[in-house]
Amino acid sequence: MVAAGRPGEPIPAGTEERLSRFTELVATAIANSEAHGHLAQLAAEQAALRRVATLVAEGRTAEELFAAVAGEVAQVLGVPAVTLDRFESDDTTVILGSMNHPAFPAGSRWPLEEGTVSRLVKDTGRAARVDDYEVLDGAVARAALSGSLSSAVGVPVTVDGRVWGVVCVSRTDGGRLPDDTESRLDAFKELFETAISNAESRAALDASRARIVATADATRRQIERNLHDGIQQLLVTLALRARSAAEPSTPGVSPREELSRIAADLGTVLDELREISRGIHPAILSDAGLDDALKALARRSTIPVELDVHFEGRYELSLEATIYYVAAESITNAAKHAHASVVSVRGGRRDDAIELEIRDDGVGGAEPSRGSGIIGIKDRVDTLGGTISVSSPAGAGTTVHVRLPATGFD
């Protein structure tokens, strides 16, 4: 603040002190105004959080949630265009939510090209910006320029400890986004992550339920086929032969010989029934427990299994069955898909939990989302409140680690 007098008229004495007191008043007014602006911004952000939280509580679809997040960000930050992108395993992104961004519509897939906001966020795990798309090459830069995109800022979205995707805001009027855009957008991370986590959990639950129903139906149909095509047909044949044996003897075949053959075939029927029941629930698991059941599983494996398990007693039946089937499915995957030469199975009681680790020396590259048995294993483990991790780098084998709460053990 500056005070000046007219030419030839000196400024009165004491002006400095009076001006100083006045500037204190002005500074207070400015501070109050800035504080009011900050509180208004905070209130707008909190209102946006509440609106999205309400949508989550109402059970809205993932598409509705993602669109709502994009709209809230655009409104509160005062930016014209927003996208919510998810990183894919094939080095691309899929746009799940888009607001006023015709060049990048929801559902479209884009490569993670060098220099783009998505690439920078994926590589660093931090906020990033691009203020000149003229210097970039590739499909993303061309689409940005065609949509008049002049400046873009993105912040990472972290879900379950991993960088899940990016929220990107853009200007399309030739201007540059303010320097505080990164920090303001980062303040919305809770909004993004809450909405995405809830949407993914709901989608995963629905998918898991669908897989459980489909698996139960497929198992029932397989048992029906095995009974109808095998055992039922054999029993019909045996009934006819028994009726024939009760009649006058067929020339050259005595009733004793025929009954002996029928008895032998009945033994075959019993063997087939045991095979079917073993597929439903192995008898040795019910009779002897996990340690002996896994030893029997290792002996039947088509590839060598190095077994080191010490489960120390019996557990709740569903818990034992889950451990058994995790081991069985992992060994099968190692032999059938990973072309492994050896499998290592380690497990036992660890305080209030039981753990199992299966490691093979196969080709690796296991992808649960592409139909391997790992997704079925995960469903079993999730049902019992356990955790599962799968490490399967290409060319370096696969390791499956499972931890389950040991509740209900004997």
pLDDT in tens, 314-330: 888 878 888 888 888 88
How sure is the predictor about 396, in pLDDT bands with cuts at 50, 70 and 90? confident
Secondary structure percentages of the chain, helix, strand, coil, to 5:
55, 20, 30
* Contact indicator for 121, 128 with CB cutoff of 8 Å: yes
Burial-class residue 153 by CB neighbours within 10 Å (0-12, 13-18, 19+). buried
pLDDT at 212: 60
Instruction: Classify domain 59-187 at the CATH class level.
Output: alpha beta
Torsion of CA 142, 144, 150, 154, to 10 degrees: -130
Nearest-CA neighbor of 375 among 211, 246, 222, 180?
211
* Contact indicator for 168, 154 with CB cutoff of 8 Å: yes
Q: What is the domain partition of the chain in residue ranges?
A: 59-187, 220-280, 284-405
Residue 360 has pLDDT above 80, yes or no: yes
User: CA-to-CA distance for 65 and 198, rounded, in angstroms?
Assistant: 9
Give helix then strand counts, H and E, for the chain: 12, 11
Residue the block writes with tokens 């207070």: 28
Residue 210 has pLDDT above 70, yes or no: no
Residue the block writes with tokens 């049902």: 383
Q: Higher pLDDT residue, 264 or 201? A: 264
Residue-wise pLDDT tens digits, 290-322: 888 888 888 888 889 999 998 878 888 878 888
* Contact indicator for 330, 358 with CB cutoff of 8 Å: yes
Nearest-CA neighbor of 263 among 244, 236, 242?
242
User: CA-to-CA distance for 352 and 349, rounded, in angstroms?
Assistant: 8
CATH H-level superfamily of 284-405: Histidine kinase-like ATPase, C-terminal domain (3.30.565.10)
Cα–Cα distances (Å) from 312 to 116, 317, 319, in that order, read 55, 15, 14
109-111 β-sheet, strand order: 109-111, 92-99, 81-87, 162-171, 151-159, 128-130
Residue-wise pLDDT tens digits, 76-97: 767 778 888 889 888 899 998 8
Which pair of tokens denotes residue 230? 């095998």
Q: Higher pLDDT residue, 24 or 381? A: 381
pLDDT at 186: 79
305-310 β-sheet, strand order: 305-310, 343-350, 353-360, 399-405, 387-391
User: CA-to-CA distance for 26 and 22, rounded, in angstroms?
Assistant: 6
How sure is the predictor about 19, in pLDDT bands with cuts at 50, 70 and 90? confident
For residues 200-221, average pLDDT:
61
